Structure formats: structure tokens, C-alpha cells
A and B are shown apart, each in its own frame.
Chain A
Amino acid sequence: MEIFVGYGNYTIALATMIGIYSIMALGLNIQWGLTGLFNLGIAGFFAVGAYASAILTTSETPKHIGGFDLPVVLAWPLAMIAAAFIAWAVARICIRLRADYLAIATIGIGEILRLIFKNEQWATGGTRGISNISRPFEQLPGIWAPLAFLGVVLILAMVAYWLAERGRTSPWGRVVQAIRDNEPAARAAGKNVETFRIQGFVIGSAFMGLAGALTAHYFKFVGPEATDPLQVTFLVWVMLIVGGNGSNRGAMLGAAVIWTMWSASELFSSRLSGDWAHRAPFVRLFLVGLILQIMLQYFPDGLMPRQRQITARLPRKPTIDQPQSSHILPPF
């Protein structure tokens, strides 16, 4: 019986983190897969969401600002808005940069945000972070508590998927993918490239902010280490590339595969003994890097390559119904 509870808890924890990382991978897919924006500051937007929700939901304490005591149904959307707002401010400045320069700029932004959270002790609790964050349904007995929270995460992940997928197959998704493929042609087609890019960046970052908020409530704690760029940013990128850049289902599958491996590698590395034990952190990263290498060699498009048809299916008339081409004047 004991052992089943143990496995059950482990599986629930695994699924919860997969759900949270799916939301981030979907956000990155909107930014990179669809809009072609190279964001290496994922951890920063994740942290904004995590701290925003933590500050908004905790009770009055001298350790950090707060005392708002908001319920999560308000705090989570506000956390998304906070991440979206930061993304908007960043995008206003950086969005015209070429992909590689944008990557460098976003590394910088992520690092600035991390240093702010680490050093502005009055607001964020500094290195001690923010604890005593409530987790929805934690008062339920036994295994029901994590199970109910998992349910919330999975529902939100499905909503995120639905939004991402409807976005991808909509005229909006068509335009951002056109911009990714050929920016001058998109300009020639009358599209305001900057506006669409900012939208893609902001929407993707809002997803990352939600994932941050969920993580803070799941661990009931957020601190500078919990938003480690190496782990968060690196893992989400690997998830998207392994799952299939450009594909929302691929992003979710990638999150499941990579988080399972990451988690399993922890089990493995925690059994390392003696000299090897302190090498565990980089051994884990090395393993993930190895998986990425193998994937890129054998499945360069990921496990689930981008779906070719982006436009939501419209009724195709049989060709007999097609007008004789010489009789109609196309719609100039």
C-alpha cells in the first residue's frame, strides 16, 4: 500500500510539472515556432509570473511587499498580465532586432530580472524568496490535494493548448508565420510586422508567466534559484525542439518526454555515490544535451513536425465547380 502511494505521488508530481512545462513550451512555440522570435529569457518571464502571484496572494509580512491576500483566480490572470506587460516593454525596444541579436538581448533581460528578484529584498525577500504561498486544494485529505491541483494544472494546460492552436490556425497565425518565413513579403502584403511580432512575444510571455505562477503555488515557495535560467530556459527550448518546433501538440509532447527524462535522471543521479554525487547536476544537464544532440541528428523536425496546413479547414469545392479560368477576372 505504502509503495503505491509513493508511486502515485511521484506520478502526480511528474504530471503536474509536465502540465506546467507544457504551458511554457506552448508559449515558446508561439514566439519561436510561429512568429520566429528567439527568446532566451524564458526564465525571466516565468519569474515575473511566479513573483507576481506570490506577492499578490500572500498575507501581510515584513519579509516582502504584499498583504494583498488575493485569491488565485485573480492573481493568476494578474501574473500573466505582469509578464505580458514586461514582455511588451521589452518588445517595444528589441523587436526590430534580427533573431540572433534578439536572443542576446533576451538573455540580458532574463538576467536583469533575476538580479532584481535576488537583490530587491524589500519587495521579493531577496535570496530567501517568498514562502507560505498557498496551494489551491491543499486542505483536501491525503492524495486528493495534489490530485486536485494536478487537475487545475491540466485544465489550464488544455486551455493554453486550445488558445495556441486556435491562434495558429487563425488568420493571425497565418500572418505571424508569413512574417517568420519572409518579412519583406509580409510588409509588401500590408502587414504591420512590428505589431504582429509584439503580439506574438507578449502572448507567449503571458503563457510563461502563468507557468511561473503555477510553479510558485505548487512548491508554495519562490526564490531566485527556483527561476534558474539554466534549467527553465534550457529545458523549455529542448522540449520545443524535441517535440517539434511549430507544432503545438509537439510542444506538449516534448514537455512530457523531456520532463520525464529530466525527472528520471534525478532519480538516477541521486543514487550516484561518493565522488560522483556532487557531479550529479552537470551529469543531468549533459544527459539532456546528449538527448538533444541525438534528436537533432535523427529527427531534425522533432517528434511531431509542424502541421503543414495552418489554415483551419475550409470546405473544398470539387474541381468541377471551379470556374473556367479564362472567364473570371481575379480579384485585383
Chain B
Amino acid sequence: MKDIVVPQSKAAPPGTGLSIKGISKSFGGLRAVDNCSFDVKRGSITGLIGPNGAGKTTLFSIITGFLSPDCGRITLDDVDVTRLAPHDLFHRGLVRTFQIPHEFSKLSVLENLMVVPANQPGENPITAWLRPGLVREREEQVFQEARNTLAFLGLEKVCDLPAGNLSGGQRKLVELGRAMMSGAGTVLLDEPGAGVNPTLLAQLSQMIMRLNSERGTTFCIIEHNMDMITSLCDTVVVMSSGSVLTQGHMSQIKKDDRVLAAYLGSSAVRALQ
């Protein structure tokens, strides 16, 4: 396949990666994220775990500009990106996926992916009307990228179906496919494994690993599947009730009683011991 066009990876320039410093966010009286600080080092695969309601998704939304933090700072390769709009962050190479799939329901699966790549001249209506040749040239590249991504995800058979007609697991894959089409250097995945079958999950882990080692893509992954986190992540950050409980290598995290207590409740841990 010589005509695969790989977008310029934004991961290439070495930098310090993503840094979250003292981020807080309240919804009414509820402190969903409470003074969170941690780093996602450039080139790493960092896990973000914690029980439901710990504030992980809210934190992702703050980092990617969907929510504005009450206080705190976010830097990407030492540049302050706090409160930038999601599309600005996209163009700086930072993208997220959604825990609950957010597909473009009436667009076909193929089109769901083709929407994503940047630098599409046909997104300007005047160019779309007057320069069909230019538009078509880029369309063919984007089309091939989307086909390749769908082939990878095993979604070729449904590529012309409206995305709204897919099953939950397939929608999850489309979600991932859109992140893959972005060419971003830093990708935040919100529970990519939930509802995906085990075979595909193994392939998914492999793909994340390859993208990380071959392209240098940095990942931050929220996931409840501990095997996946253990096999993929260098560093794991544990959140509980809005704050960072602890962080470190998975082998250390597993021994930490506080982590178990956060998941099960401290009384359950005492009962076990």
C-alpha cells in the first residue's frame, strides 16, 4: 500500500508532555475534581484509574477544553493551554475520546472518520464550490486513511452504514477510529476497552503499544480493565473522590492498601485483612 498517506506526526518534537497542576472543578456543591496534579510524560502511556465518580472523565473534559477549571493550570510541552477551546487543542495535537460514544449518527461510519483530519481545503465552502480538483485530491487521501483505519478496526463491512445503527461496541471502535484519524501526538482515551470483545481488546492494546513505540504517540488511558492497564502503562495515576490518591508503577500501586480501599471502601478492606 504505497498510497497510504501518513499525516505528519505531531509527536516527533521532544517535549515534556502534558502537565496538570492543581486543577479543581465543582458542580454546584460537588467537588468533582479537587486539586489534581500529575504529569503525562511525552512518549509515555499513562494510566488513569479510580472508582466510578472519581472525576476522571471530568478531568479529561477540562484538559481538552470542554469544561473550564475553577483553578489550576495545564501545560502541553511547557506551553500554557488552560482554557483553550477543544479545536485549538486539537490543532496542537491533543485529542480525547468519549466514554459514552459520541458518533455522528446520520453520517456513515466512513464519513465519521473522514470528518476528522485537519487541512481539508473542502471545508471552506468557497473552495468546495470552485476548486473541485483540489478538494478531490485531498478527499482521496482522507478516504484511504479512513479505509485503512476501518480495516484495522474490523469495521469495513459496516463502513457505509449510518453510525447511529451500530452496536455499542462498534460505536466505541468508531470513537477510537476518530481519535486515530486525528494524527494527534497526545491522545486521551476514556475507557477504550469498555464493551469491546476480548480478541479486539488485545489487538487494541497492541496497536496502542505500536503507535507509542513507532510514532511516539503519548497516551493517557482511563480504563477499568486492570490487565490492560498493567500490560500497557508505565505510570498509573489513581484518582479517588476528585483527587489524586497516588501514582507510580503498577507493581507498587497493586500493593497500596489505599487503592484497594478506594475501590472497595475501607470497611471491606478491613474485613478482608
Q: Are A323 and B98 in contact (CB under 8 A)?
A: no
A192 within 8 A of partner (CB): yes
A173–B124 CA distance with the chains assembled, in angstroms: 10
A36–B215 CA distance with the chains assembled, in angstroms: 38
Cβ contacts A117-155/B at 8 Å (1 or 0 each): 000000000000000000000000000000000000000
A175–B137 CA distance with the chains assembled, in angstroms: 18
Residues of chain A at interface, number, CB under 8 A = 46
Residues in B whose Cβ lies below 8 Å from that of A189: 90, 115-116, 178, 182
What total count of A-B pairs have CB within 8 Å? 170
B156 within 8 A of partner (CB): yes
Q: Are B129 and A163 in contact (CB under 8 A)?
A: yes
Residues in A whose Cβ lies below 8 Å from that of B95: 188, 190
Could you tell me the dominant secondary structure of chain B's interface residues? helix
Q: Are A310 and B111 in contact (CB under 8 A)?
A: yes
Which A residue sits closest to B125, measured CB to CB?
A: A172
Q: Are B90 and A331 in contact (CB under 8 A)?
A: no
A289 within 8 A of partner (CB): no
A182–B97 CA distance with the chains assembled, in angstroms: 13
B64 within 8 A of partner (CB): yes
Q: Are A312 and B139 in contact (CB under 8 A)?
A: yes
- Most A CB contacts (10 A, CB to CB) among B87, B91, B164, B179 go to B87
A306–B210 CA distance with the chains assembled, in angstroms: 40
Cβ contacts B91-103/A at 8 Å (1 or 0 each): 1000111100011
A191 within 8 A of partner (CB): yes
- Cβ < 8 Å to A, chain B residues 158-197: 160, 162, 164, 178-184, 187
**The residue from B102, B128, B149, B183 contacting A188, defined by CB atoms under 8 A apart:** B102
Question: What is the distance, in angstroms, from B261's C-beta to the closest C-beta of chain A?
Answer: 34
Cβ-closest 5 pairs across A and B: A190-B90, A171-B122, A170-B128, A185-B102, A181-B104
A167–B217 CA distance with the chains assembled, in angstroms: 35
Q: Are A311 and B151 in contact (CB under 8 A)?
A: no
Known: A189-B116, A329-B210, A332-B180. A174 touches B107 (CB 8 A): yes
